[in-house]
Structure 1
Amino acid sequence: MSAQRDLPIAEWRKSTYSGGGGGCIEVPVDKVPRIMPVRDSKDPGRGLLVFGDTAWSCFVTAVIAGNGNLGA
């Protein structure tokens, strides 16, 4: 599956953690098996970043824990 080709018709939603400062991401409303596509809400036509489900889970866990040094 090519996420870039198959997801433009997806329904997208902004992250509930967006603070309204313009730095928002969007994710598909319906989960895509084994991947998490993400796009910039300010420029959705620019393309997607696609994370594997394990990488996405680790990222979300780090964000929730308040880890501002994600892997650096």
Structure 2
Amino acid sequence: MGNWRRSSYSGEGDGNNCVEIATSAAHVAVRDSKAPVRATLTFPPEAFAPFLEALKSPARR
């Protein structure tokens, strides 16, 4: 897996309260920055964008 990157929504005041992603040619992985050694969610690259869109949908709010 590639290098982990923190969400751009995590500002200085948010500390570690965010998610991180790592990408490779075959997968996109997501983890909780507060518990990086715990389980990650792993997606094929083509499924990651629909996952993000589902999170943003009004039905999720």
| TM-score, scaled to structure 1 | 0.58
Identity, % of aligned pairs?
A: 37
Any unmatched runs of 5+ in structure 1?
1-6
Matched, 1:27 2:17: no
Where in structure 1 do 4 or more consecutive aligned residues deviate above 4 Å? Answer: none
Matched, 1:61 2:61: no
> Deviation at 1:62?
4.1
CA distance in 1, matches of 2:57, 2:36: 27
> Deviation at 1:59?
2.1
CA distance in 1, matches of 2:28, 2:51: 11
| TM-score, scaled to structure 2 | 0.66
Any unmatched runs of 5+ in structure 2?
none
